[in-house]
Amino acid sequence: MDGNGRWAQKRGLPRVAGHRAGVETVRRMVRACAKAGVKALTLYAFSADNWKRPLDETGFLMNLLARFLRREIAELDRNRVRLRTIGNTAGLPAFARRELKRGIEKTARNQGLVLTLALNYSARQEILDGARRMAADLSRNGRGHAPNHRDVRLDAARHRGQIHRDDFRKYLSTSFLPDPDLIIRTSGEMRLSDFLLWQGAYAELWFTPVLWPDFKEQHLAQALREFARRSRRFGGVAEQEASLV
């Protein structure tokens, strides 16, 4: 969700005005995705590197997150949206953690759209943390101890180096989600910026110059139409190409 600051600067406004406008886009996109039948929407709300920004801006963003949750959880619950998070949320201010906990608990039984907020998130750190947890489990299993609460069955053959990538996937913070089919980035930047690097290995990418506060339902529809036209081969060949081999 990129371009909030630039949106504000173009209008002679402080950067925080762009973040405030960006929240309105979040509201619209959650509704639009649910209406379109999207099963899971993950929003890169605050990266681990965003702490490098000025203190007043990061403080505003944390307060904005808490206000958004207080105001929107009732509607999310009515619409059967389930709230989840990924990232090091322990590093967020206590008031933000409280609102997240309340929202997650209130929507825990909902069966509609899964709305995941990536907060204090870094894909590289997520992979590193997952590798550490798997290594710890391998060590415990190798000494004859039972698997931990993740209940990952790492047998002796895998311990000798035959671990499948699906085994490792269970150690990622997104283990409750399918891999993303489509990753959208606004504002004209053409990079992933440490977002879902493992999970997005075969995601379709769609970049747009539209700044996040200006991103509307028609832009989402355009992205979904483009996605529907693409041929996803996952390293293989299309059926028509295969028939020629």
pTM, to two decimals: 0.89
What is the pLDDT, as a whole number, of residue 239?
63
Establish whether 50 is a catalytic residue: yes
Of the residues 2, 120, 137, 141, only one is catalytic, namely: 2
Q: Which fold is adopted by the domain 4-121+180-231?
A: Undecaprenyl pyrophosphate synthetase (3.40.1180)
Residue pLDDT, tens place only, 32-41: 999 999 999 9
Banded model confidence at residue 149, pLDDT cuts 50, 70, 90: very low
Of the residues 50, 63, 79, 110, only one is catalytic, namely: 50
Residue pLDDT, tens place only, 176-192: 999 999 999 999 999 99
- Among candidates 101, 108, 123, which has minimal Cα distance to 42? 123
Positions of CATH 3.40.1180.10 in the chain: 4-121+180-231
Per-residue tokens: 38? 């999207």
Residue pLDDT, tens place only, 126-137: 999 999 998 888
